[in-house]
Structure 1
Amino acid sequence: MPVNAKTISDDEFFFGHKACAGCGGSLAVRAALKVLGPNAVAALPAGCMSAVGFNFPQLAFANNAMITPFAATASVLTGIEAGLRAQGKKPDDCTVVGFAGDGGTADIGLQALSGAIDRNDDVLYICYDNEAYMNTGIQKSSLTPFGAKTTTTPAGANAHGCLTQKKNLFEIVAAHGIPYAATASVGYLNDFIRKVERARDIRGTRYLHVIAPCPTGWGCDVDETVDIAKDIVDTGLWYLAEYEGEQLCGQPGGRFKLNRNPREFASVEAYLRRQGRFKSLTNEEIVQVEAGRNATWETIRRTWIV
C-alpha cells in the first residue's frame, strides 16, 4: 500500500527535539524517517536539525544518526554506504539518508554532493530548504530568494534585502544525470511522502529538495508554516516536479515531469506581504518577481511533461 498521511507509520523516529515552534525542517525530517523506517541510517551536517536533534542526553533520533562536518554530508553518506556494504548489508536492509539545509547543500556542501552523484553512490540526500543559514543567525545562502531580509542582506530605507536570485539547484542536480531527483514542500505532505517512498526504492544517488519554512527567519507566525509552504507552491514561486535519469525513463538525457500545474496562480503579493523578511519590497519589485515566475513557467510548460 502506498504511504500517505493516513497509512504512514505511527512510530516516531525524530521526536523530543529542540527546534523552534513551527519549524518546517523538523516536519520534513520527521515525515521522511517515518517512510524510511527504523533501519535508516542518517547523517546531518552542522545545521538546524543537528543542533536541535543531538542535545545529549536527549538524542532526538531513534535511528542510527551522526553529525558530519559542514561540507561533508554527501561524503559521509558515501562512507556509511560503503561500510554497510562491507558488512554484507543489502540495499533493501536500510537506507542511507542525509538531511542538510540549503546552505549546507547549495553552498558549502555542493562539491561533495556533486561527487556522490558522479559516482552514483547508493544514497538519498534530502535538502530541507528554509532559504537562509538559520542555525547561525539567518545569513543569506545561494537559495535565499530575491528581496529577502537576512542579517547579511539587510533591508531598510537604502537596501531591499537579497539582490540575487535563488539558485535552481534541482536542475543543477538533474544536469548531473542523477537517477532520481524531486522537489517538494511540507505544505503538500502527501506529495513529499510519495517522493521519499519512491526515492527509497531506487538504487543510486537520489536527491529531494523540500521547501521547509522557518517562522523565525521568514517573519511569520509559528502556526503559518504549512499554509505558507502551500502558498509558495500555489503562487508558482516553487514547483513540484520530478526528474528521472536515463536509466529510469529510457530517454537520452532523462526527463522532467511536473506534478502540479495550477490553472491560476495565487497572489504573489499576498504571499510576500505576509512575511516580515519581504517587508521592504516595493510594488515594482513584486511585479519583477511575478515576471520571473511567469518566464519560468513558460519554459516548464513548453519543455517538461505536464
Structure 2
Amino acid sequence: MALNAKTISQDEFFFGHKACAGCGGSLAVRAALKVLGPHAVAALPAGCMSAVGFNFPQLSFANNAMITPFATTAAVLSGIEAGLRVQGKKPDDCTVVGFAGDGGTADIGLQALSGAIDRNDDVLYICYDNEAYMNTGIQKSSLTPFGASTTTTPAGANVHGCLTQKKSLFEIVAAHGIPYAATASVGYLSDFVRKVERARDIRGTRYIHVIVPCPTGWGCPVDSMVDVARDVVDCGLWYLAEYEGPAVSGLPRGRFTLSRNPKTFTSVADYLRSQGRFKALADEEIAQIEAARDETWTYLREHWA
C-alpha cells in the first residue's frame, strides 16, 4: 500500500531529540523511520542527528540504533547486515539503514559507501544534506553550493562565499550501477516517503539523497524550513529523480527518471535572497547560478525526462 499522510504509521520512532528548531534533518529521519518501522536497525556517524539523538538518558531512537565512527557509516551497515543474516534474519524482517550528513557522506564517508555499493550489501543509505558541516560549526563540505557563506568560506569584500560547485553525488552513486538511488527534499515529503518505501522493498544497496534545510546554517526563519526545502526544487536548483540500476531496470546502464519536471521555475534570486548565507551575492553571481541551472535542466530533459 502506498503510504501517505493518512496511511503512514502514527507511531514515533525518533522523538524527544535536541535538534534546533526547524531542523530539516530531524524531519527526514522521523519520516523515514515511520516508513521502515520498529524493526529497522539504524547507524549514524558523528553529525547532527547523532549529536541530538543520543543524549543519555534521553535517547531519541525507539529502534535499535548506534553511532559509528565518522568515516564508516556504510561499512558499519555492512557489518550489521552480515550479523543479522548469520542470526537468520530475513530482509523482510528488518531494514538496515544509515543516516549520514553531507560531509559524512560526500567527503569522509565516500570510500565506505562506494565499497558497500560495489559489494551490493543489502543496506539503505540516506544522506541528509544540509549543505555544510553544521554540527561542528557550519564548515564547507563538497556539497556546499556555490556562493554559500560558511565559516571556512566566509563572504568578504572580494570573495562572496563558496567558490566551488556542489558535487553531483547522486550521479556518482548511480555510476556504480547501484540497484536504486533517488533524490528528495523534505519540502516534498510525500515524494520522499514514497522513495523510502520503494527503497525498503528492493534488495541490494540503496541510496537516497534528501535536501534538509538548516535554519541555523542557512540563515532562514525556523518556520520557513519546509517552504525553503520546496523552493529549492521549484526554482530548479535541486531536482527530484530516481535511478534504477541494471538489476532493477533491465537496461545495461540502468535508467534515470525525473520525479518532477516543472514547465517553469520560480525565481532563483528570491530563493537565494531568502537566506543569510547568500546575502553577499551580487546580481551577476545570481545570474551565473541561474545559467548553470538552465544548463543542467537542458541535459536532464534531454536524457532523463
TM-score normalised to structure 2 length: 1.00
Letter in 1 for 2:41: V
Distance 1:15 1:22 in 2: 14
Which SS does the other structure have where 2:187 is aligned? coil
Range with greater deviation from structure 2 (87-96 or 150-159): 150-159
Which residue does 1:140 correspond to in 2?
140
Distance 1:203 1:158 in 2: 50
Which residue does 1:213 correspond to in 2?
213
Q: Which runs of 4+ in 1 moved over 6 A?
A: none
Which residue does 1:123 correspond to in 2?
123
Write the mapping of 1:234-273 to structure 2, written as runs, cut at 5 A.
234-273=234-273
Distance 1:138 1:149 in 2: 9
Gaps of at least 5 residues in structure 2 are: none
Letter in 1 for 2:301: R
Letter in 1 for 2:95: T
> How far has the Cα of 1:159 moved from its partner?
1.9
Write the mapping of 1:55-94 to structure 2, written as runs, cut at 5 A.
55-94=55-94
Matched, 1:50 2:17: no
Which SS does the other structure have where 1:94 is aligned? coil
Letter in 2 for 1:98: G
Gaps of at least 5 residues in structure 1 are: none
> How far has the Cα of 1:7 moved from its partner?
1.0
Q: Is the 8 A contact 1:24 1:212 kept in 2?
A: yes
Which SS does the other structure have where 1:160 is aligned? coil
TM-score normalised to structure 1 length: 0.99
Distance 1:111 1:185 in 2: 24
Distance 1:251 1:88 in 2: 33
Distance 2:159 2:194 in 1: 41
Letter in 2 for 1:59: L
Distance 1:128 1:83 in 2: 26
Matched, 1:297 2:285: no
Identity of aligned residues (%): 83
Q: Is the 8 A contact 1:233 1:240 kept in 2?
A: yes
> How far has the Cα of 1:156 moved from its partner?
2.1
Which SS does the other structure have where 1:225 is aligned? helix
Write the mapping of 1:189-200 to structure 2, written as runs, cut at 5 A.
189-200=189-200
How many residue pairs get aligned? The number is 305
Distance 2:301 2:28 in 1: 28
> How far has the Cα of 1:49 moved from its partner?
0.1
Letter in 1 for 2:239: Y
Letter in 2 for 1:18: K
Q: Is the 8 A contact 1:130 1:212 kept in 2?
A: yes
Which residue does 1:34 correspond to in 2?
34
Q: Is the 8 A contact 1:117 1:176 kept in 2?
A: yes
Which residue does 1:170 correspond to in 2?
170
Q: Is the 8 A contact 1:5 1:189 kept in 2?
A: no
> How far has the Cα of 1:132 moved from its partner?
0.1
Which residue does 1:284 correspond to in 2?
284
Which residue does 1:4 correspond to in 2?
4
Distance 1:82 1:160 in 2: 47
Which SS does the other structure have where 1:156 is aligned? coil
